[in-house]
Amino acid sequence: MRDFGSEGPRRAVNWNPLLEGAEREAALRALECIIEDLPRFRVPGPLSSSLAQGHPGVAVLFAYLSRAWRDASHGAREEALLDEATETLATAPLLPDLFDGFPGIAWALQHVRGTPEAPDEDPLSDIDTALAEYLQARPWRHRYDLVSGLVGLGVYALERLPRPGASRCLEHVVARLAELAERTGAGLRWKTTPGNVEPQARESHPHGCYNLGVAHGMPGVLAVLAGAVSTGVAADTARGLLRGGWEWLMAQRAPDAIPARFPTRLGGDATPCAWPGRPAWCYGDPGVALVLHRIARAVGDAAWEKEALVLCRESAGQWNRAGQVRDAGLCHGAAGLGHLYNRLFQETGEGLFADTARNWFRHALALRRPGLGIGGFQTLELFPDGTEGWTDHPGLLAGAAGIGLALLAATSAVEPEWDRLLLMSLRSAPSHPS
């Protein structure tokens, strides 16, 4: 049985601007229009505190603008938004979900402001304690995914390392994932139980399903396990789970005759029942392939990295039809795909990924309609009644703040470490659990 880490985890040495000349100027104009418009669009109600949809995610954009452009006004805007988020932490009841709950606010605070040197001055210690207690629930009946489950709490814990409370949280995440793992002849898999299937898919999966999307499925599980291995937290357990999960997921690859390598879901009998209809981060080959590449690099496995790179190259060649992508957000839009392939280019230096990233950024800018939305960008939303409509969305995941972050990463030399939230990169700093 082979072990990981013979070459050690690798990182990009430098981050360089992807776009040049007229394309860079167009991207910067669009970014400036987003910045100008954002203050007029505030998310009302409970979603205002959501990292994915509300003010904390917008704060992340202004934090990176401050770093890249050295503009004090952006730093002040970031501070104001995070102060507002901190007040929400203290006054409002919120769910324990990364994307829409209190861990998301805490993630933004940690990512932007870091950890105080004095432990007794750390405002997030109580969050660590609360989550560590929550994560001891057995059996685990909640979701396991990135958006609102165990994987998301693992992402928060990785961001907080090496704080002792964060190490305990990550240990509990690994333990719960171990308890949920199903052993098969092909490896390990994690099932989404019927009550935790996404509402729009619940009727089709009355017995649950196996989700293969990054946002709600197994690739996220494997990424957090890789983070545990690379940081030395519950590493022995995480290593075995990761190996079994990788083997099972790779066994689900479809043959060449099927356009997609990975289905979005398998039924309760593990038979593919849904396939992606567009390229995206959240579901489909581009997101899955990138995350697998990040996993392989995090644990230093050259054979896995070779497998993942094949999938990444295939996704760039096969999923390139701009007409399939109708808006520009990070989750399932053109700027998200541009950033995804930009991340691959920065890590590998392969021209294919640079060309693919530029093509998607061109499409994102072509979707812009000055005078509409936020900086000319609107989000195509699927409403609960099954209809679609265009909305003015300031958020990080599907809205203008996320588009702004991708454009900034394509035009500046500041590494976009915010994409750890989406598992497009993994934190590599060693932990020192106690």
Question: 362-395, pLDDT tens digit by residue?
Answer: 999 999 999 999 999 999 998 888 899 999 999 9
**Bond before 139 cis per omega within 30 degrees:** yes
Q: What is the pLDDT of residue 434?
A: 37
Please, are residues 112 and 60 in contact by the beta-carbon 8 Å criterion?
yes
* CA dist., res. 155 & res. 170, Å (int): 9
Residues of the chain with pLDDT under 50: 1-2, 6-9, 12-13, 430-434
Q: What is the pLDDT of residue 171?
A: 98
3-state secondary structure of 359: helix
Q: What is the pLDDT of residue 272?
A: 92
Q: What is the pLDDT of residue 183?
A: 97
Question: Containing H/E element for 125?
Answer: helix 125-134
Which tokens is 397 given? 């995941």
Q: What is the pLDDT of residue 178?
A: 98
Q: Could you say which DSSP state residue 292 is in?
A: H
How far apart, in Å, do the first and last CA atoms of the chain sit?
30
Residue with structure tokens 């497009």?
Answer: 424
Q: Which long-range contacts (CB under 8 A, 24 or more apart) does 36-41 make?
A: 36/375, 37/373, 37/374, 37/375, 37/400, 38/374, 38/375, 38/394, 38/400, 38/401, 38/404, 39/77, 41/374, 41/392, 41/394, 41/400
Question: Which pTM does this prediction carry?
Answer: 0.95
Closest CA to 189 of 144, 255, 135: 144
* CA dist., res. 423 & res. 287, Å (int): 9
Q: How many other C-beta atoms are found inside a 10 Å radius of the C-beta of residue 371?
A: 6
Measured N-to-C along each axis, helices 72-91 and 102-113 cross at an angle, to the nearest 10 degrees, of 150
